[in-house]
Structure 1
């Protein structure tokens, strides 16, 4: 039976007092029942970044192609083995000194998504390149409410904890809107939630403060509009809408709980702002869930997530590592320090596995968010002790690429080739990016 009804607009939103909510992808947004095809759904990009490099012996797989074994650091990805492609041998030649003063983090971090050489400066005259995620965001134009979402577990540093001779702007984030405009990251879940569902541009200050005081749910404000829309939807869409609203309410409650919980002495010492959970794992999962929710509602299709800013000195006593992450990364081949760094690397990988699972579990039309998303996981260094920017630990996942492989490319192959191939998979018609010599065919060839 052919359905001739006028489809619901992808830009439909739920409105309430001083707020608005985007909708997830619904069958009612399809032109007809026969158009419920995967090609109707938008493509998305997610980047998951970990700082301070890796203990490569614990990371690098054995074997090539489909016949490979996951090492200790990658074991958390075992449930997703058929959906990941591990790539070794990629590097960033533009992270080399090229006559500049010695440094590592200040050049490698900005090169990660740009393939460009960062200008050596501690002043405001910073310069690098437009990052791959922002090329994709520009290609999408105004297709979504927010062009891109840049999240981090660390607040941006303006002084200290930055690489010598290089501005903190080079190590605070990985997204560059233009060669001279790095995009700021957000670490506070409350700030992210309000950006997605009502901030200063949508909700007037008086209403916003009143809502926070009452700890009221944003869903209460759009209840009338929700009831009106629900009556026009089919059973399957009503179920999807209910799931989405339940997820939104659950995340909001987690944000509110984090704000109302008394901070520990450690949190007070760090001067964490309201909204940031004291527990690292809780904070990580909350930020990932917010990123997933933003994609589910098609508020944005581009996201980057930094587990920590480069040169992060975070400690991890909860997993038995009270030492500074950055200090351990300069282990001097000390077996004890290398073992502790490997524990941190593996711990971070559990959250990447969590992100993949959440994407697989989140409905998008007849499939899941995972089906139409390109996911990149990486670091600016391989061997952190050597500041090795020519053998990067990269994992590619998502339904846009074939998984279950370990690809070894010629050592020194520019990661810009991978970024170019990723842009082509996302339908961006570019023939070059950064210092690329061509798209990485090993990624796209069957």
Structure 2
């Protein structure tokens, strides 16, 4: 079999819709698939009336903004009644800044000089984010402890950061898919810095096919016809990613993998052009799925834009910026706003489909993952930080009972704290934590999820 080290360096598993040979290449001799954690962040809240599901716990209908997730309904846990009280009453930063700073940390902002909406006293968050806490506590045996990906984030202040190594220690997302590819799939040294250095690495390195040519030639005759098809599909999908990054399209599916050559590096995608957001996002999601399937990492964050985002959406035939549209409260404005957020749900559906396409025994990579979809405020017209539109996908290896609408406000119930949602995820991933973030707002795991 192809060695695990060679696999991780050359990485066979890209983003084909065909599972990764039952994931045996990725996990070596492990008998139980590892658990993974993915954060999917989108900006500027939502319209509660268009987001919140309708019905009971087990008999519910997904709302218009969640309709693209219908194929994965049995693997979802949408919530009603989760508050972010840890940042509700803070007088530091706007609601957008407070919300994004507390999303994964469960703590308020420190004071600083960042301007956020009508406030100019925002600083960084005062705690470690859940993704970094999991990496530190669980210490997964992967080449990358975590992978922070961004899609046209742009803002380098508190509005543009969801990950923290500790108080006042933000971690910037990786926004360049060329850099992401080089780091993940070219065995590039971690200390190589700058665009020029990365370009030299791309020019000098052998492709993944060159790295694995002898191994592939050796193993291919000894596997079944079905696995040969899967292997060829994964090799082809790596070529497809390289082709897209190089601006050279994709290689013909009939091209034998043993004769593939590196594509000539063409023009880069313009990372600053709003119209390229779909292409950039798809590349980042493809590589996130590949990294998880290859066990290059088990913890990924994908951040779309920034809190209070003024991103433009020309590919949706919209003219106004996202934040302005979110406060256009007439019928036309709400229709435009819903169009943006339906598109984000479509992007999440794409990612879930990728994860669900990888078989792991009788289950899939998505089944062994917990995906957390978050945004920094709830009702956009109110800048609310209560009844947050949070959603989980995947069961973390069977820990969560999915396919249910978790409504903590039903039958006169009381709201729960988002700190305890973070704690619940931490426990599902394997920690023994009894609280997370500010202990004043964390009383224990959320009930009814396991």
Scaled by the length of structure 1, the TM-score of the pair is 0.82
Q: For residues 203-250 of structure 1, give each alpha carbon's deviation from its aligned partner in whole angstroms, at most 9, with x where no partner exists.
A: 979996456458973322332344456577677765554443332222
Deviation at 1:186, TM superposition (A): 1.4
Provide the secondary structure at the position in 1 that maps to 2:243.
helix
1:27-426 alignment runs, 5 A limit: 40-98=32-90, 100-101=91-92, 103-122=94-113, 126-158=124-156, 168=157, 170-198=158-186, 201=189, 209=199, 212-213=202-203, 217-228=207-218, 240-257=230-247, 260-261=266-267, 271=272, 279-331=276-328, 333-365=329-361, 367-400=363-396, 401-410=400-409, 412-426=415-429
Residues 417 and 29 of structure 1: is their aligned pair in 2 closer, same or farther, counting only changes over 3 Å? Answer: closer
Distance 1:214 1:257, change over 3 A: farther
User: What CA distance in whole angstroms lies between the structure 1 residues aligned with 2:93 and 2:201?
Assistant: 51
Displacement of 1:301 in angstroms is 0.3
Query: Which structure 1 segments of 5+ residues have no match?
Result: 1-6, 159-167
Contact 2:105 / 2:125 at 8 angstroms: preserved in 1?
A: no
- For 2:351 and 2:49, locate their aligned partners in 1 and report how far apart those are by CA, in whole Å: 24
What is the rounded CA distance, in whole Å, between the counterparts of 2:242 and 2:407 in structure 1? Answer: 43
Q: Alpha-carbon deviation of 1:27? A: 6.7
| Aligned counterparts of 2:33 and 2:200: Cα–Cα separation in 1 | 38
8 Å CA contact retained: 1:217, 1:249: no
Tell me the equivalent position of 2:255. none
Distance 2:10 2:317 in 1: 44
For residues 422 and 202 of structure 1, the distance between their equivalents in structure 2, rounded to whole angstroms, comes to 30
Offset, 1:73: 0.5
Distance 1:88 1:317 in 2: 32
Give the secondary-structure state (helix, strand or coil) at the position aligned to 1:280. helix
Distance 1:89 1:362 in 2: 33
Superposition RMSD in Å:
3.1
Equivalent pair of 1:92/1:390 in contact (CA under 8 Å): yes
Q: Tell me the distance in 2 between the aligned counterparts of 1:417 and 1:368.
A: 27
SS across alignment from 2:372:
strand
CA contact (8 A) 2:151 2:305 kept: yes
Q: Compared with structure 1, are the counterparts of its residues 299 and 365 closer, same or farther at alpha carbon in structure 2 (3 Å cutoff)?
A: farther
Deviations 1:363-386 (A, max 9, x none): 335532112101111212111121
Retained in 2: the 8 A contact 1:153–1:306?
Answer: yes
State the alpha-carbon separation in 2 of the partners of residues 322 and 367 from structure 1. 43
In 2, the alpha carbon distance for the partners of 1:89 and 1:247 equals 41
| Structure 1 residue 137, shift from structure 2 partner | 1.3
Given that 1:58 and 1:73 are in contact with CA atoms closer than 8 Å, whether structure 2 keeps it comes out as: yes
Going from structure 1 to structure 2, the CA distance change for 1:299 and 1:407 (only over 3 Å counts) comes to: same
Q: 1:301 to 1:73 in 2, by over 3 A?
A: same
Contact 2:35 2:369 in 1 (8 A): yes
Q: Tell me the secondary structure at the aligned position of residue 86 of structure 1.
A: strand
Name the count of aligned residue pairs: 407
Cα distance in 1 between the residues matched to 2:223 and 2:144:
26
Alpha-carbon distance in 2 for matches of 1:210, 1:62 = 54
Question: 3-state SS of the aligned residue for 2:407?
Answer: strand
* 1:329-350 Cα distance to aligned partner (Å, 9 max, x none): 223x322212211111111100
Q: Could you tell me how far apart the structure 1 residues matched to 2:192 and 2:165 are?
A: 28
Distance apart, 1:125 and its partner CA: 6.6
Seen in structure 2, the aligned counterparts of structure 1 residues 22 and 97 have a Cα distance that, compared at 3 Å, is farther
Deviations 1:169-222 (A, max 9, x none): x21121111122111111211011011023652697999645645897332233
- The CA deviation string for residues 362-420 of structure 1, in whole angstroms up to 9 with x for no partner, is 23355321121011112121111211111110111113322221111145411111111
Structure 2 contact 112–124 (Cα < 8 Å) conserved: yes
1:283-310 deviation per Cα after TM superposition (whole angstroms, max 9, x unaligned): 2221111100000110000001112211
* Structure-2 separation of matches of 1:376 and 1:340: 25
Stretches of structure 2 that go unaligned for 5 or more consecutive residues are 14-19, 115-121, 249-264
Q: What is the DSSP-based 3-state SS (H/G/I as helix, E as strand, rest coil) of the residue aligned with 2:449?
A: helix
Paired residues of 2:37 and 2:369 also in contact (CA < 8 A): yes
Q: TM-score, normalised by structure 2?
A: 0.81
